[in-house]
């Protein structure tokens, strides 16, 4: 069994570059930075390393990237690794680049200061358009939207419950 699948969550380092092929197909190039943090065993200090990725999106996904993504935005991409090669015209050497070809994308949380804005409404490209339904008049509360600047700690005011011998599985 073989698997070529990539999941990346990071921040854009540049505005997406959207262009068209001669046949009219849209293609977007997105530059993404991802970081990992760990504690160095030798020095007991926190260390951080950042990787930079090039993501290529095609078709409708490329248009959505161009409309909604901005430099610094948090986004998640799902795709596959692809290596392509070409001959350098100046040196004649063969060059290689490995990129992520995006299959889907999710926007990160929007902050109150920077809501998503697009020039045209966009549908989710992985799901069919929703069926029009009558407006509900139920008294159920709406699901709250949690912004990235809000603290989300559940159960902080609750008292800890004592553990009984009957709670243990052994």
Compute mean pLDDT per 10 residues along the chain, 170 residues long, and list them. Answer: 94 95 94 93 91 95 93 94 92 93 90 52 47 53 57 54 71
Nearest to 64 by CA among 119, 11, 114, 10: 119
DSSP per position, the chain: -----EEEEEEESS--EEEE-TTS-EEEEEEEEEEEEEE-TTT--EEEEEEEEEEEEEHHHHHHHHHH--TT-EEEEEEEEEEEEEE-TTT--EEEEEEEEEEEEEE-PPPTTS----SS----TTSPPPPP-PPP---PPPPPPPPTTS---TTTTSPPPPPPGGGS--
How confident is the model at residue 111, as a pLDDT? Answer: 62
Residue 124 has a pLDDT of 47
User: Would you state the pLDDT for residue 100?
Assistant: 96
pLDDT at 54: 96
Report the pLDDT value the prediction gives residue 166, as an integer from 0 to 100.
77
Specify the pLDDT at position 22.
Answer: 93
Half-sphere exposure of 77 (CA within 13 A, CB side): 32
pTM of the model: 0.63
Quote the pLDDT of residue 163: 72
Query: Right CATH number for 1-39+46-110 from 3.50.50.60, 3.40.50.1980, 2.40.50.140, 3.20.20.70?
Result: 2.40.50.140
Give the pLDDT of residue 32. 96
């Amino acid at each position: 069994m073989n698997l070529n699948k990539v999941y990346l969550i990071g921040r854009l380092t540049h505005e997406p570059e959207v262009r068209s092929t001669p046949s009219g197909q849209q293609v977007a190039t997105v530059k993404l930075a991802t970081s990992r943090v760990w504690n160095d065993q030798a020095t007991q200090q926190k260390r951080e390393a950042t990787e930079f990725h090039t993501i290529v999106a095609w078709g409708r996904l490329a248009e959505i990237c161009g409309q909604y993504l901005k430099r610094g935005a948090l986004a998640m991409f799902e795709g596959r690794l692809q290596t392509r090669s070409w001959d350098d015209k100046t040196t004649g050497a063969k060059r290689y680049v490995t990129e992520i070809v995006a299959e889907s994308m999710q926007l990160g949380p929007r902050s109150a200061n920077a809501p998503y804005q697009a020039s045209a409404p966009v549908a989710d490209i992985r799901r069919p358009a929703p069926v029009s339904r009558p407006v509900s008049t139920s008294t159920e509360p709406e699901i709250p939207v949690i912004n990235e600047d809000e603290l989300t700690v559940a159960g902080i005011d609750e008292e800890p419950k004592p553990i009984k011998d009957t709670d243990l599985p052994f």
